[in-house]
C-alpha cells in the first residue's frame, strides 16, 4: 500500500460508495424476499469486505449480525481459500461453530472480482423462518444443537453463477416453510449481485488500486476515531453482571460477569467468572458474543464513524473455554442472539455507567422476545408465524428512553397487524403501551407493550425471553422496570401465566417450546421497559404530570415512585402533598 494518501474528495466519495452499496443490497432484499421475517421484520444484514476479509461497509441492519459476519467470511476462506473461489461462486453457511451464530441465520458470501483480481467480498445474512428442528423455527429447546435444525458448514450453493440444485433440495426438505426458501434465496442473490455490480463499477471509475487503497485508509480512519473516543474514558477496571432467567432446562439463573479494563486507547473485555456452558439452548458461540461486545461498546465510542473493521481493532476479549458465552459443539444455541446477546450488552452498559456515569444509558429490556408459532389454517395447512414484540430502552442523561423499540442488537421491526392477519390464521387483538412499565428515574425508561393475538385454528408457540424475575436495571440511582409476563387466555376468559411470576408467587421459565394453543386461545405478552436514569425523586413534577395525562404512568405510580401527588381530578399537581412526599 502506497504511503501517498487518497485526496479528501475521493476519500469521501469512496466512504459514501461503500455505504451506498450496502444500502442498495438492503433495498433489494427487503423488496424481493418472500418470508415476512425478512420483508416485514427486516431481520437481515448486508455488508462488504476487502480482499483481506476486513469489514469495509455496512448499512443500519441488524447489529448482532453485522459485527459477527466477518467470522463467516473467515470460515469461507478457511474452507476454500481465496484462490478456491471464482466469480459467481456463492458459499452458504449457518454452522454456529464454523462462522455462524444460531442456525436460522443463514449467511451467503460471494467474492467480487475486477477482471482476474479479487477486490472484495459481498455478504448477505438473513434469519430464515425455519430450517427444521424439534420446534417451529428451531426452538426445540433441547440439549443438542441437532435439535435446532439443518446445520450447514461452508458449502458452494452457486458455482459460476449456477445454482447447486441438490443442495437447494436438501434445504427445502428440511424446512417447515419451503415455500419461502426459493424466493428468499433469490432475494439474497439479487443483493449480492448488486454489490458486485457497484464495486466493479467503482474499480473501473477510480481504478482498482485507488479502490483498494481507499478501503485500507477507511479502516485506519475509523480506528483513529474509536481510539480517540476510548482515550476520553478514565483508565481503570469496571465490573458488572447480568443474567438470563433460565436456560430452559434448569430454573437456575445463568450469569454474565464482565470486567471492562480501559487503558489508554484500548479496551479489554474479560468474561472470567461467567457461568459455564449450560444444557439449555441459550449458549452463545464465540462469534455471537464478540458481536454483542462490539455493538454494545460502539454506542459509547464512535457511532458516527464509518462502520468498518477499524471499530474492532482497539477491543480485545477474554472468554473462558468452559463458558456459556463460548459455546462448543454440541451445545444448543438457538437463543444466543435473542436472549444472550442482550444480557452481554446489558452487563457492558452497566460497566460503562461506572466509567462515564454522565454519559451512561440505562439497560434496555435486553430481549428480542422472539416467538415462533406453528399455526393451523383452513384445511389443516400448517404455516409458521413469527414476531418480536419490542420493549423499552433505558433512560439517558438527556431524555427518557425509547418506548416499544426492539433491543439495540436487533434493529428489526414488529410485523404490522395487517400483514400478520393477511398471511396467517391469527387475529391480532392488541399492541399498545404498557403503563408503568418504564423504570422510574430523573429520566425514566421507555415503555414496554401489551402484545396479544388469537389463534384462529390452534397451534404451537415457542418463545425465547427473560426479564421475568427482575426488570431492566437503572443507572445512577434510577429504578428498575417491572417484570415481563407471558399469558395464555382461553375463549371463556380464563387466564394462565405460562411464563413468569404467577398470582401465587410461583415462577415458570419463559423459554417455551411448542406450547399448545387450542383454536380460539390467545397469547398475551407483557414486555418490560428500560431502566431509569438518575433518582426518580429528581424528576420534574410537571413531567410526571404529563406522563399521567398521556397514560404512560398511573397516578398511583406517580405517587409511589416519584413522590408526586395529584389533585382528586388527576389533572393537576397537589403541591403541598408533593412537597411532603419528597421530604420524607
pLDDT surpassing 70 at residue 500 = yes
Residue 3 has what pLDDT? 55
What pLDDT digit, counting tens, does each position of 55-91 carry? 999 987 788 888 889 999 999 999 999 999 999 999 9
Higher per-residue pLDDT: 324 or 6: 324
Domain contains 312: no
In 381-522, alpha helices (H): 417-423
Q: Looking up cell 454452522, which residue turns up?
A: 95
Tell me which of 223, 247, 271 is where a domain ends: 223
- The per-residue DSSP string of 196-222 comes to HHHHHHHHHHH-HHHHHHHHHHHHHHH
Distance in angstroms (rounded) separating the CA atoms of residues 542 and 563: 12
Q: Looking up cell 458461540, which residue turns up?
A: 285
392 and 516 belong to one structural domain: yes
Q: Beta strands 522-526 and 485-489: pairing type?
A: antiparallel
439 and 562 belong to one structural domain: no
469 and 503 belong to one structural domain: yes
Q: What is the mean pLDDT of residues 548-577?
A: 95
What pLDDT digit, counting tens, does each position of 168-185 carry? 999 999 999 999 999 999
Residue 409 has what pLDDT? 82
Tell me which of 512, 535, 558 is where a domain ends: 535
Tally the C-alpha atoms within 13 A of residue 428's C-alpha that lie toward its C-beta.
20
Q: Which of 407-416, 439-448, 464-473, 480-489 has the lowest mean pLDDT?
A: 407-416
First-last CA distance in the chain: 68
Residue 583 has what pLDDT? 85
What pLDDT digit, counting tens, does each position of 273-319 carry? 999 999 999 999 999 999 999 999 998 998 889 999 999 999 999 99
547 and 439 belong to one structural domain: no
**Residue 483 and residue 540 in contact, taking contact as beta carbons nearer than 8 Å:** no
Residue 140 has what pLDDT? 83
Domain contains 308: no
Express as a percent the part of the chain with pLDDT over 90.
Answer: 90
512 and 530 belong to one structural domain: yes
Domain contains 494: yes
510 and 558 belong to one structural domain: no
Helices and strands counted in the chain (H then E): 13, 21
510 and 552 belong to one structural domain: no
Residue 61 has what pLDDT? 79
153 and 196 belong to one structural domain: yes
Domain contains 552: yes
Domain contains 185: yes
Q: Beta strands 315-318 and 266-270: pairing type?
A: parallel
444 and 501 belong to one structural domain: yes
In 68-164, alpha helices (H): 69-80
Residue 66 has what pLDDT? 84
Residue 489: strand pairing partners:
495, 522
Domain contains 242: no
454 and 371 belong to one structural domain: yes
pLDDT, the chain, mean: 95
* Residue 379 binned pLDDT confidence (cut-offs 50, 70, 90): confident
In 366-431, alpha helices (H): 417-423
Domain containing residue 557: 540-582
Residue 397 has what pLDDT? 96
Tell me which of 199, 223, 247 is where a domain ends: 223
Q: Provide φ and ψ at 21, rounded to 5°.
A: -55, -45
pLDDT surpassing 60 at residue 27 = yes
546 and 499 belong to one structural domain: no
Domain contains 237: no
428 and 505 belong to one structural domain: yes
Count of structural domains within the chain: 3
**Residue 64 and residue 291 in contact, taking contact as beta carbons nearer than 8 Å:** yes
Domain contains 327: no
Amino acid at each position: 500500500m502506497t504511503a501517498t494518501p487518497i485526496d479528501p474528495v475521493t476519500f469521501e466519495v469512496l466512504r459514501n460508495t461503500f455505504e451506498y452499496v450496502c444500502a442498495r443490497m438492503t433495498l433489494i432484499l427487503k423488496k424481493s424476499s418472500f418470508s415476512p421475517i425478512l420483508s416485514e421484520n427486516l431481520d437481515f444484514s448486508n455488508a462488504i469486505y476487502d480482499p483481506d476479509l476486513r469489514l469495509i461497509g455496512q448499512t443500519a441492519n441488524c447489529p448482532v449480525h453485522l459485527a459477527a459476519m466477518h467470522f463467516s467470511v473467515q470460515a469461507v476462506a478457511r474452507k476454500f481459500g481465496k484462490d478456491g473461489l471464482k466469480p459467481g461462486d456463492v458459499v452458504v453457511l449457518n454452522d454456529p461453530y464454523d462462522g455462524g451464530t444460531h442456525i436460522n441465520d443463514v449467511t451467503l458470501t460471494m467474492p467480487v472480482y475486477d477482471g482476474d483480481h479479487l477486490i472484495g467480498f459481498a455478504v448477505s445474512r438473513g434469519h430464515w423462518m425455519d430450517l427444521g428442528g424439534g420446534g417451529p423455527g428451531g426452538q426445540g429447546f433441547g440439549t443438542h444443537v441437532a435439535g435446532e435444525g439443518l446445520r450447514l458448514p461452508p458449502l458452494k450453493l452457486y458455482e459460476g453463477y449456477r445454482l447447486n440444485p441438490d443442495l437447494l433440495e436438501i434445504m427445502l426438505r428440511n424446512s417447515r416453510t419451503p415455500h419461502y426458501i426459493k424466493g428468499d434465496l433469490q432475494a439474497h442473490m439479487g443483493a449480492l449481485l448488486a454489490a458486485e455490480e457497484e464495486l466493479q463499477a467503482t474499480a473501473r471509475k477510480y481504478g482498482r488500486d485507488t479502490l483498494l487503497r481507499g478501503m485500507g485508509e477507511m479502516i485506519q480512519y475509523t480506528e483513529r476515531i474509536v481510539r480517540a473516543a476510548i482515550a476520553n474514558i478514565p483508565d481503570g477496571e469496571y465490573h458488572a453482571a447480568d443474567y438470563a432467567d433460565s436456560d430452559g432446562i434448569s430454573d437456575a439463573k445463568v450469569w454474565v460477569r464482565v470486567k471492562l479494563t480501559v487503558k489508554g486507547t484500548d479496551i479489554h473485555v474479560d468474561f472470567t467468572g461467567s457461568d459455564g456452558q449450560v444444557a439449555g439452548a441459550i449458549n452463545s458461540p464465540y462469534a455471537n458474543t464478540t458481536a454483542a461486545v462490539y455493538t454494545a461498546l460502539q454506542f459509547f465510542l464512535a457511532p458516527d464513524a464509518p462502520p468498518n473493521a477499524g471499530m474492532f481493532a482497539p477491543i480485545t476479549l477474554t472468554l473462558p473455554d468452559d463458558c456459556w458465552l463460548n459455546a462448543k459443539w454440541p451445545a444448543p444455541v438457538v437463543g444466543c442472539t435473542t436472549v444472550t446477546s442482550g444480557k452481554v450488552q446489558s452487563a457492558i452498559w452497566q460497566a460503562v455507567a461506572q466509567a462515564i456515569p454522565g454519559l451512561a444509558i440505562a439497560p434496555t429490556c435486553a430481549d428480542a422476545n422472539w416467538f415462533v408459532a406453528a399455526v393451523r389454517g383452513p384445511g389443516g395447512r400448517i404455516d409458521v408465524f413469527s414476531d418480536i414484540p419490542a420493549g423499552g430502552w433505558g433512560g439517558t442523561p438527556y431524555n427518557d428512553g425509547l418506548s416499544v423499540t426492539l433491543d439495540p442488537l436487533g434493529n428489526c421491526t414488529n410485523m404490522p397487524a395487517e400483514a400478520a392477519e393477511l398471511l396467517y390464521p391469527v387475529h391480532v387483538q392488541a399492541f399498545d403501551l404498557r403503563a408503568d412499565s418504564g423504570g422510574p428515574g430523573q429520566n425514566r425508561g421507555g415503555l414496554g407493550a401489551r402484545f396479544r393475538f388469537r389463534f384462529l385454528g390452534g397451534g404451537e408457540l415457542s418463545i425465547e425471553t427473560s426479564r421475568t424475575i427482575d426488570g431492566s436495571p437503572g443507572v445512577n440511582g434510577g429504578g428498575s422496570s417491572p417484570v415481563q409476563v407471558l399469558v395464555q387466555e382461553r375463549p371463556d376468559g380464563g387466564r394462565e401465566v405460562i411464563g413468569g411470576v404467577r398470582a401465587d408467587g410461583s415462577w415458570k421459565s419463559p423459554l417455551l417450546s411448542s406450547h399448545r394453543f387450542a383454536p380460539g386461545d390467545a397469547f398475551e405478552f407483557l414486555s418490560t421497559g428500560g431502566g431509569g436514569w438518575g433518582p426518580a425523586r429528581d424528576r420534574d413534577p410537571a413531567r410526571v404530570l404529563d406522563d399521567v395525562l398521556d397514560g404512560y404512568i398511573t397516578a398511583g405510580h406517580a405517587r409511589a415512585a416519584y413522590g408526586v401527588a395529584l389533585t382528586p381530578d388527576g389533572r393537576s399537581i397537589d403541591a403541598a402533598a408533593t412537597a411532603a412526599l419528597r421530604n420524607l
